[in-house]
Structure 1
């Protein structure tokens, strides 16, 4: 019988067998510490993950807030991580297929209907133009690391279901329908190199790409940029190798014997030159966690290239010094805990047995202390909703620059939970030289499968909606005050039209020869800023008379009291309207049309770590804005709109305005 007690007994018996073997290698004191670590891994973790399943869409959500909020959908990375987690954890061990050892157990355990739904979910995201996989909630305007990771996850998921992608991928995986359209067009016109990303179309381009990453000052993000696109780098090297080796096939390529002077050799030579031989690190900041996290990300390139890490002993000593740390005041992310063990484990796998034994001698005296520090750090990330959060306090609302959650405090997320329950204990066991002690057992797997089989349809919650201020007689409600006063300034360019709507025009200023911006401000006078809330500005929005001009025509400034952020709207050369970051880069692949009404809503999360602004258009999440102009401000709490100089005749129309500070959780339950 698969009861709660039966699952617990089987799970504990399986763990104890592993602890007994561990004690023979690392001793009782360190093994007792290991037992305490595994107490963090209860049944609530995989129950929480099962409840993220969307049976109608065929994927798993990143978090509860993503599952419950309109505009958020399941994503590839979360889907792969949940399935990989439950498969590797021991819960799916009863579904091994000895005839197919490379196929993950979840592929054998899931029903045919569920597998078909996941395949449909994955292949439905592949773009016929370039072969990448794009989520409908994010579009094409995503970071390179997000694009690269989703490419990896999609092809990996499909391979475990023994299904091909629809089109050939930029990583070299062949699709059932052949090359994507852009590759066929470019290949016929310019040669096969044009099917590669620009930074991989020549070695010179690749060298410039590596230099621009600025690894010595930003090693984690730079390492992530390389690692997330490594499959594409290897594909470029494979193409170069095939040209060198006439008559050889793609299947003959081995990354450990790459093209001479090719992309893999260029990458490894570059990394070798800038490593600090004394520490084994690539960064020398004052933050030990930061340096070590960068080491882990950069070292992944050596693992994937099948090249030993240089100065490994120095790197291990640096990692051990970090692994001993416990800082209760630092809101470190779970990767700061995971990366210490992962780095040691990766280095050990790259060495022969004699070298691995030498490295284990270095860490042996500190094993118990390192495990105890891991427990202290990791326990602060355990959340009441079942899993682990990426940060201790701050929410994790974005992943590789894409919006994946919408809360103002920490909540469990799939990425952090996978790292905490599989990544940390798995890498720890590898580092100290014992077999992986799987935290879950087959009865847990049966229960997980039952939960997703009986999953109910997902019901989304509504966002907080307040009383709207509509311009009918020019008299605002007490919630906001409007400047300039449209009833008293006869010549103001902010005025009422016949329909009662505020029209915000940029007209030639006959009184001043110097052109200037036109401004309208909505001052929040009847709502206090909350310590755990967010600022809202919502309105019916329409803009026009922009054709023939391009550039930043409108800035919406959100002022929370001590800081301000600028959201910029641009007019494109074809007259389209798009939102952009402080560098002018579009934040979404979608555009607004001129002379068309939209419901615009901005939510400014001034208490979150990234202080992002969530942008909703017509009730759907349009983008999460992070890279914005930001400055401290002592101004009153308000929202200021400024129509730029140089756009004479252009107008912005606003109506049904709501401006306020909202307290408590972002979501209210739908009636």
Structure 2
């Protein structure tokens, strides 16, 4: 790529000044987990949570900082995730009982916890919900699965596609011969409801539909299935970047992740334009505390309903699960996406080897808790 792209990406790296110090400040030695935001740790109403802790670990791993964590810190992280597993169901739950009512949060917590434990060289203490008796009822027969797929509303593409993808972990745990009829139902249904002109799924603003499409792409990638109508998706994506206001970090990250996952040959001038737009949008969400906010005006207090903007409604809307106060502050959800954007842009430009310059002092003062 040209020197112009290198200069753009070097400028983007300056947006991470103070970020890793902010990340370090989210760690809680007593629980072994990470808080969602500064306002989370400053209020007694909130605790460290599964998603934020897994996201923090993901940032640490992606940025090559694992060696800075002591064995005691790693052991406390293992205990944090293991303590969240319900021995009766195999699922992982946060303290807020409302979290159990949101199937997307429950599915994400399962994937995050199992993945984090694997990264840390550990395993769950109890069997996972991988058999037919513990998995959702729709996994018991392809016909039931097809009926469930069609019951999911796509009035908000982002949330609806997120719910559809929530079935992927259950399918992946099935033996291949049992999985195939379920997979055929899913892929056939998805292709039948894809917009032939835009390549997108569901309803909503362009960024909402692109975000929904990105969610579905994770399903396709999980089962090595080709994504249909990629040229149409690319045109829709470019149009949104050029004409829509990105008021949410997901509106900045999802198009970039969608682009790289589609593995298209992108003209160099498009890569330059995409990188400039993306980093300009990201800069608007950088906060004085060193982190990033999910939304342009503030950090959403309950990220599980942040996909739905004020005044919108769709069936099966989840109950809010607050993780912070929603102040103008950095939050872990936005922080992990900012790091993904950075590394994805470098991949898009063929500059994967460029690492962030992170001060040696970061994580050097972390101490493990005493709850053993």
C-alpha deviation, 1:135, in angstroms: 1.5
Distance 1:430 1:126, change over 3 A: same
C-alpha deviation, 1:423, in angstroms: 1.1
Partner Cα distance (2:369, 2:286) in 1: 25
Map of 1:592 onto structure 2: none
Map of 1:282 onto structure 2: 201
C-alpha deviation, 1:436, in angstroms: 5.0
Q: Deviations over 1:50-89 (max 9, x none)?
A: 1111111110000111111112111111112112212212
C-alpha deviation, 1:125, in angstroms: 1.3
Q: Deviations over 1:371-422 (max 9, x none)?
A: 2221221111011111000001043111324211113x332101101101x2
C-alpha deviation, 1:207, in angstroms: 1.4
C-alpha deviation, 1:240, in angstroms: 6.7
Partner Cα distance (2:108, 2:340) in 1: 17
Distance 1:228 1:451, change over 3 A: farther
Q: Deviations over 1:538-588 (max 9, x none)?
A: xxxxxxxxxxxxxxxxxxxxxxxxxxxxxxxxxxxxxxxxxxxxxxxxxxx
Map of 1:136 onto structure 2: 95
C-alpha deviation, 1:239, in angstroms: 4.1
Map of 1:241 onto structure 2: 177
Partner Cα distance (1:77, 1:440) in 2: 26
Partner Cα distance (2:122, 2:368) in 1: 26
Where in structure 2 are the equivalents of 1:89-128 lying within 5 Å? 89-90=63-64, 92=65, 106=66, 108-128=67-87
C-alpha deviation, 1:455, in angstroms: 9.0
Q: Deviations over 1:138-181 (max 9, x none)?
A: 466330011011111111111122222111112x4xxxxxxxxx
C-alpha deviation, 1:425, in angstroms: 1.6
1:451 alignment partner, SS class:
coil
Q: Deviations over 1:448-492 (max 9, x none)?
A: 2213238999xxxxxxxxxxxxxxxxxxxxxxxxxxxxxxxxxxx
Where in structure 2 are the equivalents of 1:156-555 lying within 5 Å? 156-170=115-129, 172=130, 193-215=132-154, 217-235=155-173, 238-239=174-175, 241=177, 258-259=179-180, 261=181, 263-283=182-202, 285=204, 287-325=205-243, 327=245, 332-348=247-263, 356=264, 359-361=265-267, 364-400=268-304, 401-407=320-326, 409-420=327-338, 422-435=339-352, 437-441=354-358, 444=359, 446-453=360-367
- Verify: 1:70 aligned to 2:34, yes or no: no
Map of 2:7 onto structure 1: 32
Partner Cα distance (1:41, 1:368) in 2: 20
Which of the pair is proportionally richer in helix? 2
Distance 1:140 1:337, change over 3 A: closer
Q: Which one has the largest radius of gyration? A: 1
Partner Cα distance (1:419, 1:340) in 2: 12
Conserved in 2, the CA contact under 8 Å of 1:51 and 1:451?
A: no
Partner Cα distance (1:291, 1:142) in 2: 25
Map of 1:474 onto structure 2: none
Partner Cα distance (2:165, 2:33) in 1: 25
Partner Cα distance (2:96, 2:364) in 1: 29
Which of the pair is proportionally richer in strand? 1
Partner Cα distance (1:415, 1:140) in 2: 16
Partner Cα distance (2:324, 2:46) in 1: 8
Distance 1:228 1:110, change over 3 A: farther
Partner Cα distance (2:368, 2:361) in 1: 11
- Verify: 1:153 aligned to 2:148, yes or no: no
Partner Cα distance (1:59, 1:133) in 2: 14
Partner Cα distance (2:78, 2:25) in 1: 20
Partner Cα distance (1:373, 1:447) in 2: 32
Conserved in 2, the CA contact under 8 Å of 1:381 and 1:390?
A: yes
Partner Cα distance (1:284, 1:55) in 2: 43
2:362 alignment partner, SS class:
helix
Distance 1:375 1:140, change over 3 A: closer
Conserved in 1, the CA contact under 8 Å of 2:249 and 2:285?
A: yes
Q: Name structure 2 gaps, 5 residues minimum.
A: 305-319
